[in-house]
Homo-oligomer: A and B are copies of this chain.
Amino acid sequence: MRDVRFLGFDVFGTVVDWRTSVARELTPFLRRHGLGDLDPAAVADEWRALYQPAMEPIRRGQRDWTRLTVLNRENLETVLGRYLDPRRVAADELAALNRAWERLDPWPDAVAGLTRLKTRFAIGPISNGNVSLMMWLAKYGGLPWDVIAGAEITKTYKPQPQTYIGAANLVGLEPAEVALVAAHNDDLAAARMCGLKTVFIPRRTEHGAGQTSDLEPSQAWDMVAEDFTALAERLGC
C-alpha cells in the first residue's frame, strides 16, 4: 500500500447501507398504495436483485451506455408491477421514489473514517452509480469525496476492467497507486486483475441479519480492516 495515493471506494454496501435506507423510503409509498403488508426490506431486496442483470447487456455491449438512475427506474417499475399497475402511479411519484438511491445512510463509521483518510489520500467513489447520483448521495450523507470516479466516466460497469483502469487514469495515477476499498470480494478480485491494490472491509449486515456472502476475505487482499476508522488507523491517518 506504500505507493497508494488514491483510495477508490465501492459505495453501495461498502460506504452506505442501501437496504435499510431504501426500505425506509419504500415504507410510506407501499402504505399509500395499499401494500402496507409487504415487508419493505424484502421489496428493497427485489429491487436490488435486478441491479446486476440490468447492467449485464451494457457490459456485453448489447445495450448503449445507460446511467444507473435510469436502470433503477426501469427496475422499480418491474418490481412494482408484481404488486400493482405502475402506470397508475404518477410519474412524479415514481421519480421521487427512485431518488431513494440518493438518500442512503452512510454506515456509522463511514464519514468519520473518510474524513481521516482524506488527510493523507485523495478519495472518491469507484462505483457503478452515475456521477449525479454519487454527488447527491454525498451531499445527503456528508461524504467528503475529493472527486467522483466510476462507471459513468468510462461508460461501462464494474467488473469490466475499463472501469477500474479508467478511474486510475482519471485521477492521473498508475493502477498500483490506487486502492479499491470494497465489501465485496468479486469487486476486489476484478480490481486486482487490473493492478489496483485491494482493501476489504466486511459489511456483514448489508443484506440483513441472515447474510451469507462476503463475511470474510476470499483472497489475501493487500489490507483488511473492520471498518473505515480502523482502516484510517492502520494507514496512519
A57, B136: Cα distance in complex, Å? 36
Flag whether A162 is at the interface (Cβ < 8 A): no
A160 shortest CB reach to chain B, Å: 19
A171 in complex: contacting residue of B122, B132, B146, CB < 8 Å: B132
- What is the number of residues of chain A that contact chain B, defined by CB distance less than 8 Å? 22
A133, B139: Cα distance in complex, Å? 23
Q: A172 near B130 (CB under 8 angstroms)? A: yes
Q: What residues of B have a CB within 8 angstroms of the CB of A138 in the complex? A: 146
Closest to A121 in B: B139
A69 in complex: contacting residue of B124, B132, B152, B172, CB < 8 Å: B172
Q: What residues of B have a CB within 8 angstroms of the CB of A172 in the complex? A: 69, 130-133
User: How many copies of this kind of chain does the complex include?
Assistant: 2
A130, B173: Cα distance in complex, Å? 13
Q: What residues of B have a CB within 8 angstroms of the CB of A69 in the complex? A: 172
Contact flags A115-138 to B (C-beta < 8 A → 1, else 0): 000000010100000111111101
A2 shortest CB reach to chain B, Å: 19
A residues 55-110 touching B (CB-CB < 8 Å) = 69
Q: What residues of B have a CB within 8 angstroms of the CB of A170 in the complex? A: 131-132, 152
Other A-B pairs, 4, CB within 8 Å; known A132-B147, A132-B173: A122-B136, A131-B170, A134-B147, A153-B153
Flag whether A148 is at the interface (Cβ < 8 A): yes
A128 shortest CB reach to chain B, Å: 16
